[in-house]
Amino acid sequence: MSNSFAEPQAEGGETHQFAGGDVAVLTTAHGIPVADDQNSLKQGARGPILLEDSHFREKMFHFDHERIPERVVHARGYGAHGYFELTESLSDVTRADVLQRVGERVHAFVRFSTVAGSKGSADLARDVRGFAVKLYTQEGNWDIVGNNIPVFFIQDAIKFPDLIHAAKPEPDRDFPQAQTAHDNFWDFISLTPESFHMVMWTMSDRAIPRSLRMMEGFGVHTFRLVNADGKSTFVKFHWKPKQGLQSVMWNEAVKINGADPDFHRRDLWDAINAGDFPEWELGVQLFDDAFADSFDFDVLDATKLIPEELVPVCIVGRLVLDRVVDNFFAETEQVAFMTQNVPPGIDFSNDPLLQGRNFSYLDTQIKRLGSTNFSHLPINAPKCPMAHFQQDGHMAMRNPKGRANYEPNSWGAAQGGPREDPARGFTSFAQDADGPKQRVRSESFADYYSQARQFFTSQTPIEQKHIGDAIVFELSKVERPDIRSRTVSHLLNIDAKLAQTVADGLGLPLPDPAQAARPTMMDLPPSDALSILKNGPDSFKGRKLGILMTDGADAAIFNALVKAVGKEGAVYEVVAPKIGGVTLSDGTAVAAKQKIDGGPSVLFDAVAVVASEEGAALLAIDAAAKDFVTDAFAHCKYIGLTAEAQALFEKAGIADDLDEACLPLATAKDAGAFIAACRALRHWPRELAVDLDAQPA
C-alpha cells in the first residue's frame, strides 16, 4: 500500500483511505474522507464561515501548532543515516557490545549543526559545528554528542548559559544573528581567559568548513572505557574524514551565505543522493592514570586537548552516511541526543563540563519535544529489545504489556515484566571520591594560554594569517575600544606577533599583557594534526567544478572536462547566461544548472571558463560574469580558461595578474592536467597579492 506520509510516526499510527487506483483519498487526521479542500464551509456563497466546519478547524488547529521550540543551541542542523562498522576490536579495554566484533555494523544517525544561529540562519556562519552521532547498538543508544573542535570555551557547565547568552543576538536589539562579531561575545570572552584556546580554533578556518563531509569530529571530553574486569581506561573520541579537511575563505563564506544559505545541507544531500557517501574513521586516544598524572594539563579540563604526538589516535571503526532522511522534522528536528546515553562498558569522567551536560540534555528534550515519551519517536527509539515499567504521559505510544507495572512483583516471567541483570546491566566505574563540598576550580585547570599558543604555532603561515584576519574582522565590529584592547592583552600571552598584527589591523596601541592565572606558560612543540592545510586531500574527489559557458563553446574541451571530472570522482555544474543552457560548437545543446547571477564562483571549488569569442564579449559586459572570475581569482581557486575567454578576464581587470594556477584550456588534452592541478584545491601564494592587509607597510 502506498502511503502519503514519509514514515509512519509510530506503530498503530496513521492509516489512509485509498480511492480506486493509486491516489490516496485526502482525509482528516481522524480518517474521514475530505470532499472539498479548497473552500471553507459557509452559509451562502458570500456568507460567514461556520463553526461546524470541523475539517477547516482541524487543519488550521494543526497548522497553528506545527512549530516546536528550536534547540536553544545548535538550532540549525542537518542529519543523515548510515552505519558504524568496527574495524579493530576494543574487547581488551571495554565490554561495550558495539566495540567487540570486527566487521559488525550498527545503524547510525548523525546530526551536524551550527551553534549560535537560529534554525533559519545561514550555513556558513563563523561558528563551531556540532557533530552528534547516535549509534543504535544492541545495548541501547550510544550518543557521542561532539563538535568539530576538540576543546570547549569554558571549563565548568555553570558558565554555559552565560557563554551562550553572550554569543547569541544581544537581548535588547535581537541582533546580530549567527555571529560572534559583536560586543557581548568579546566582552565575555575577554573576561574569560580559559576560552582563548577555543577562540583560536573558532577564529581559524575550522569554523568555516567547505563541507560537513570535510571536517573532523571530536567527543571533546575524557570518557572512560571499562572492561569485563571492571578496569577503566581513559578515552578521547575522534572522527577523521576520509574526504580530507577543507575550509573556505572568510570572504567566500560571506558570499556563500547570500548565494546559497543552505550550502552545507545541500552539499550533504547531493553527495549522499549521488552515491558519494561521506565517511569518517573513528579514532580513540587511550590512556591510563599514569599518563593523566604526568600530563602537563588536567585531562578533566575540556579546554585542553591531548596532542596526537603524545597519545596516538588509533583507528577502530568507520562511519558511513548512505541515506538522507525521509522527513526533516520527523528525524533531524525530533532527534534527541543525550550525553548520558552510553552503553555498559563506556562511562564518564569527572570533567565538570560533561557532568553538567549529563543533566542538561534530558531536561532540554522535555522542553523541546514536549513529553517524557520522546524516546517513543522512531528516530529516538532504540533498535534493541527494551523493557521497563515507565508508562503513560503525553503521547504514550508503547505502554508495557501485562498485569504488573511495578517491581518487585510475583507475577512470574509471563506477566511480571523485566528484571534487572547485574551481569549485563550498566554499572558505573567505582571511582573513589572524597574531599570537602565546595564551589571551586581546580588549580590544575589554570594554564589558559599554552595550548592556545601551541595551536597557533602549529598552523601554516596562511592559516596564521587567516586567524589574524578573523580576529581583526570580529573586533572591528565591536564598538567598545576597551573590549578590543582587553582581547589583545590576552593575545599577547599567546603570540606576540599575532597580538601586534591584530593591534595594527585595528589601529590600536598595544596594551599590556593580561595578567595570567598561572604565569608559567609553556612553549609546546607544534602539532601537525592541528592544521587543516597539513591534512588536506590529495584529490579533487567529492569537489565541484563550475564551468561558465556560452553558446559556441568548444565542445571537445567541454567534453574532456566532463570526462576528467568524472574520472576524478568530482562533479560539475554548467553556469550559463540563461538557465535553458548553451549550444556548443558542434551543435550539441547542454542544459545549465545555474544562471550566472544564481551560480557565483563561491559555490565551486574550482572554475573553468569555456566561451566562444562572441560569448566572451557578451560575458565581458555582465557584472555577474566579471564577479565570477574576480572572486574565483581572489579566493585563490584554480581557474581553467580557453583562449577566447581572455576577453572576460581583461574586462574584469585580472588578465595581467593570472598566475600558474590559471591554466590554459587550449585543447581537449589540457582538461586532464587542469583537473589534476585542482587537487591542490587553492593556490595560496596568490592571497598575498590580493589582500591590502598583506602588503608591506
Q: Which residues are catalytic?
A: 74, 147
Residues in contact with 269: Cβ distance below 8 Å, sequence separation at least 6, in sequence order: 78, 324
Q: Is 147 in the site for ligand HDE (CB under 6 A)?
A: yes
Nearest to 608 by CA among 530, 552, 544: 544
**Secondary structure of 517-581 as H, E, C letters:** CCCCCCCCCCCHHHCCHHHCCCCCCCCEEEEEECCCCCHHHHHHHHHHHHHHCCEEEEEECCCCC
Q: Is 337 in the site for ligand HDE (CB under 6 A)?
A: yes
> What grid cell was written down for 465?
594569517
Q: Supply the minimum distance, in Å, between the C-beta of residue 520 and ligand HDE.
A: 27
448 is in an annotated binding site: no
Select the residue interacting with ligand HDE from 26, 181, 266, 356 (CB under 6 A): 356
Stretch that binds ligand HDE, among 26-34, 351-359, 488-496, 686-694 (CB under 6 A): 351-359
111 is in an annotated binding site: yes
Q: CA 164 to CA 354: how far, in whole Å? A: 16
Q: Supply the minimum distance, in Å, between the C-beta of residue 146 and ligand HDE.
A: 5
| Cα–Cα distance list, 431 to 223, 348, 350, 354, 541 (Å) | 13, 11, 10, 16, 47
Q: Is 299 in the site for ligand HDE (CB under 6 A)?
A: no
Select the residue interacting with ligand HDE from 157, 499, 648, 661 (CB under 6 A): 157
Stretch that binds ligand HDE, among 139-147, 175-183, 290-298, 527-535 (CB under 6 A): 139-147
Select the residue interacting with ligand HDE from 132, 282, 316, 576 (CB under 6 A): 132
Q: Is 468 in the site for ligand HDE (CB under 6 A)?
A: no
Select the residue interacting with ligand HDE from 318, 357, 490, 543 (CB under 6 A): 357
Stretch that binds ligand HDE, among 66-74, 88-96, 256-264, 483-491 (CB under 6 A): 66-74
Cβ–Cβ < 8 Å for 130, 112: yes
Stretch that binds ligand HDE, among 357-365, 397-405, 456-464, 574-582 (CB under 6 A): 357-365
Cβ–Cβ < 8 Å for 538, 211: no
Q: Supply the minimum distance, in Å, between the C-beta of residue 351 and ligand HDE.
A: 9
Q: Is 265 in the site for ligand HDE (CB under 6 A)?
A: no
Q: Supply the minimum distance, in Å, between the C-beta of residue 216 and ligand HDE.
A: 12
In the complex with ligand HDE, the residue whose CB is nearer, 142 or 572, is 142
Q: Is 73 in the site for ligand HDE (CB under 6 A)?
A: yes
Q: Where in 213-232 is the site for ligand HDE (CB under 6 A)?
A: 220
Q: CA 530 to CA 308: how far, in whole Å? A: 9
Residue positions counted in the chain: 697
Q: In angstroms, how far is CA 121 from the centroid of its own chain?
A: 13
Q: In angstroms, how far is CA 134 from the centroid of its own chain?
A: 15
Nearest to 88 by CA among 326, 270, 312: 312
| Cα–Cα distance list, 465 to 140, 472, 497, 687 (Å) | 46, 11, 11, 10
Q: Supply the minimum distance, in Å, between the C-beta of residue 223 and ligand HDE.
A: 11
Q: Supply the minimum distance, in Å, between the C-beta of residue 336 and ligand HDE.
A: 6
Q: Is 283 in the site for ligand HDE (CB under 6 A)?
A: no
Q: CA 88 to CA 332: how far, in whole Å? A: 30
Stretch that binds ligand HDE, among 73-81, 259-267, 377-385, 458-466 (CB under 6 A): 73-81
Residues in contact with 438: Cβ distance below 8 Å, sequence separation at least 6, in sequence order: none
Q: Supply the minimum distance, in Å, between the C-beta of residue 644 and ligand HDE.
A: 49
In the complex with ligand HDE, the residue whose CB is nearer, 98 or 145, is 145
Q: Is 364 in the site for ligand HDE (CB under 6 A)?
A: yes
Cβ–Cβ < 8 Å for 114, 74: yes
Stretch that binds ligand HDE, among 24-32, 68-76, 594-602, 607-615 (CB under 6 A): 68-76
Select the residue interacting with ligand HDE from 140, 146, 244, 537 (CB under 6 A): 146
Q: Is 74 in the site for ligand HDE (CB under 6 A)?
A: yes
In the complex with ligand HDE, the residue whose CB is nearer, 166 or 590, is 166
Select the residue interacting with ligand HDE from 76, 81, 95, 111 (CB under 6 A): 111
Nearest to 369 by CA among 70, 7, 13, 63: 70
Q: Is 320 in the site for ligand HDE (CB under 6 A)?
A: no
Q: CA 91 to CA 661: how far, in whole Å? A: 50
Nearest to 652 by CA among 629, 632, 633, 686: 629
Q: Is 358 in the site for ligand HDE (CB under 6 A)?
A: no
Total residues contacting ligand HDE by CB under 6 A comes to 25
Q: Is 445 in the site for ligand HDE (CB under 6 A)?
A: no
Residue nearest ligand HDE (C-beta atom): 130
Q: Is 130 in the site for ligand HDE (CB under 6 A)?
A: yes
Strand partners, 546: 573, 607
Q: Is 72 in the site for ligand HDE (CB under 6 A)?
A: yes
Q: Is 361 in the site for ligand HDE (CB under 6 A)?
A: yes
The SS3 of residue 328 is helix
CA angle 88-89-93, nearest 5°? Answer: 125
Cβ–Cβ < 8 Å for 58, 65: no
Q: Supply the minimum distance, in Å, between the C-beta of residue 612 and ligand HDE.
A: 49
Name the residue with cell 474522507: 33
DSSP E strands in 151-255: the ranges are 217-218, 223-226, 232-241
In the complex with ligand HDE, the residue whose CB is nearer, 351 or 670, is 351
Select the residue interacting with ligand HDE from 81, 96, 106, 113 (CB under 6 A): 113
Q: Supply the minimum distance, in Å, between the C-beta of residue 516 and ligand HDE.
A: 24
Name the residue with cell 509510530: 10
Q: Is 377 in the site for ligand HDE (CB under 6 A)?
A: no
Q: Where in 158-197 is the site for ligand HDE (CB under 6 A)?
A: 160
Nearest 10 degrees: Cα torsion 54, 59, 60, 63: 160
Residue type, 587: G
Q: Supply the minimum distance, in Å, between the C-beta of residue 372 and ligand HDE.
A: 15
Q: CA 201 to CA 455: how far, in whole Å? A: 8
Cβ–Cβ < 8 Å for 243, 211: yes
Annotated binding site: 71, 111, 160, 357, 361, 368
Annotated binding site for heme: 71, 111, 160, 357, 361, 368
Binding residues vs ligand HDE (CB under 6 A): 71-74, 77, 111, 113, 130, 132, 145-147, 152, 157, 160, 220, 302, 335, 337, 353, 356-357, 360-361, 364
